């Protein structure tokens, strides 16, 4: 049972208790506010913080070890993803790419290159629209299935890993995920490389507390990530850590 349902059941039990007390003793309305306010807060934070695993289990970090995983969202993007691949190849490390379905369909050869060079490919929805999480569970399931089809057509494997856009989840997203039996992958270090353009600030953000077991979130198209990735990988090496794919870090199966 998810934490979402546990919280709702506890809320209903407490609400019934309040109603019984109110019927017998006419209690203050503030007791209802005190009950409902935390429920709203939990639902809100549970939706936007994937690490809470409020609606669906998620893997956000590996066990403490001498390795980390680096992940790239939103590709493949011609002219951008290749720059990432060149740096990864220079350092002889493998990463994990959570790809958008329509971009896979548009750049199948680039997707195949990702796979052929030993990098992991995961599902990151077909369109990655801001309204993704507002769809019905059935619509979400179909979008994830369409992404799987694009990946299978391009590289010949069906992904087991899914990362929700922005890390946002809710009951509809959870239903869509469960229908495809995906393993949800989050992160423990979020770079915010889509908004941090200053090279030094970005480098400091992703290195200041980096430790074994971390999953780092970057984006293919971020110029600031292109600027720091070489130095970041050198820093990882100096810490005595190695970079592995998410499936190796978590000891989970990457493909169906």
Confidence of residue 122 (pLDDT cuts 50, 70, 90): very high
Region 129-135 average pLDDT: 95
pLDDT for the residue numbered 83: 98
pLDDT for the residue numbered 15: 97
pLDDT for the residue numbered 250: 98
Which of 119, 115, 144, 121 minimizes the C-alpha distance to 132? 144
Which of 231, 217, 203, 244 minimizes the C-alpha distance to 71? 217
Region 170-176 average pLDDT: 98
- Among 73, 133, 214, 220, the active-site one is 73
pLDDT for the residue numbered 39: 97
Region 10-28 average pLDDT: 96
- Among 119, 124, 219, 226, the active-site one is 219
Region 243-256 average pLDDT: 98
Region 244-254 average pLDDT: 98
Burial 70-79, CB ≥16 within 10 A → b, else e:
bbbbbbbbee
pLDDT for the residue numbered 207: 98
What's the pLDDT tens digit per position in 34-93?
A: 999 999 999 999 999 999 999 999 999 999 999 999 999 999 999 999 999 999 999 999
Element (H, E) at 160: none
Confidence of residue 193 (pLDDT cuts 50, 70, 90): very high
CA 159 – CA 161 distance, rounded (Å): 6
pLDDT for the residue numbered 87: 98
pLDDT for the residue numbered 202: 98
The whole-angstrom distance between residue 48's C-alpha and the CA centroid of its chain comes to 11
What angle is formed at CA 151 by the lines to CA 134 and CA 79, rounded to 5 degrees? 90
User: Is 73 designated active site?
Assistant: yes
Confidence of residue 236 (pLDDT cuts 50, 70, 90): very high
Q: What share of the chain in percent tops pLDDT 70? A: 100
Region 172-178 average pLDDT: 98
How does the average pLDDT of the chain come out, rounded? 97
| 1: pLDDT strictly greater than 90 | no
Region 150-156 average pLDDT: 98
Region 164-178 average pLDDT: 98
pLDDT for the residue numbered 216: 98
Confidence of residue 96 (pLDDT cuts 50, 70, 90): very high
């Amino acid at each position: 049972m998810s934490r979402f349902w546990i919280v709702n059941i506890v809320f209903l039990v407490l609400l019934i208790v309040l109603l019984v007390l109110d019927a017998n003793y006419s209690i203050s309305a503030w007791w209802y506010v005190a009950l409902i306010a935390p429920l709203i807060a939990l639902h809100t934070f549970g939706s936007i913080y994937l690490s809470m695993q409020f609606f669906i289990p998620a893997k956000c970090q590996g066990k403490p070890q001498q390795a980390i995983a680096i992940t790239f969202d939103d590709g493949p993007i011609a002219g951008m993803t290749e720059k990432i691949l060149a740096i990864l190849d220079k350092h002889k490390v493998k990463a994990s790419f959570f790809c958008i379905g329509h971009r896979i369909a548009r750049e199948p050869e680039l997707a195949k290159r990702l796979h052929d060079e030993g990098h992991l490919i995961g599902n990151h929805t077909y369109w990655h629209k801001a309204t993704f999480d507002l769809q019905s569970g059935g619509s979400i399931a179909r979008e994830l299935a369409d992404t799987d089809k694009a990946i299978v057509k391009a590289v010949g494997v069906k992904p087991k890993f899914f990362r929700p856009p922005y890390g946002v989840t809710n009951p509809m997203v959870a239903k869509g995920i469960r229908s495809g039996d995906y393993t949800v992958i989050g992160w423990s270090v979020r770079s915010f490389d889509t908004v941090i353009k200053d090279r030094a600030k970005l480098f400091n953000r992703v290195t200041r507390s980096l430790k074994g077991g971390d999953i780092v979130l970057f984006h293919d198209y971020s110029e600031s990530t292109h600027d720091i990735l070489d130095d970041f990988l050198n820093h990882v090496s100096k810490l005595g850590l190695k970079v592995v794919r998410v499936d190796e870090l978590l000891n989970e199966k990457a493909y169906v």
